[in-house]
A = this chain, B = another copy of it.
Amino acid sequence: MVISYFKRKKKKMKELREKRRELHYQQNRNFILGIAEDVFSRFGYSQTSMDLIAQETQFSKATLYRYFAGKQDLFFSVIQNSLGDLGVQLTAIQRKNFSPEEKIKKIVVAIFKFYHKKKNIGRALFLERMFARKRQEVSPGEHHPQIPNNLRKKLLELSETINEVIREGIDQGVFAPVDPEDASFILGSLVRGFVFRGPLGRKEYSPHQASELVSRYFLYGIARSNQPKKIS
Are B198 and A143 touching (Cβ within 8 A)?
A: yes
Q: Enumerate chain B residues within 8 angstroms of A183, measured Cβ to Cβ.
A: 217, 222
Tell me the smallest distance from the CB of A231 to a CB of chain B, in Å.
7
Known A138-B42, A175-B222, A190-B190; judge A198-B120 contact (CB<8 A).
no
Give the segment of A4-12, A21-29, A87-95, A199-207 that binds chain B: A199-207
Interface size class of A (residues with CB under 8 A): 35 or more
Are A190 and B186 touching (Cβ within 8 A)?
A: yes
Q: For window 104-161 of chain A, which residues contact chain B by CB distance below 8 Å?
A: 119-120, 123-129, 131, 135-138, 140-144, 147, 151-152, 155-156, 159
A interface residues, Cβ below 8 angstroms from B:
42-44, 46-47, 49, 52, 101, 119-120, 123-129, 131, 135-138, 140-144, 147, 151-152, 155-156, 159, 166, 169, 173-176, 178, 181-183, 185-186, 188-194, 196-204, 209, 212-214, 216-228, 231-232
Are A186 and B198 touching (Cβ within 8 A)?
A: no
30 contacts between A and B (CB under 8 A): A44-B128, A47-B129, A120-B138, A123-B127, A125-B199, A126-B127, A126-B197, A127-B196, A143-B198, A147-B199, A151-B199, A155-B200, A159-B200, A166-B222, A175-B222, A176-B220, A176-B222, A176-B224, A186-B194, A189-B190, A189-B192, A192-B198, A193-B196, A213-B232, A216-B228, A219-B227, A220-B221, A220-B225, A220-B226, A221-B227
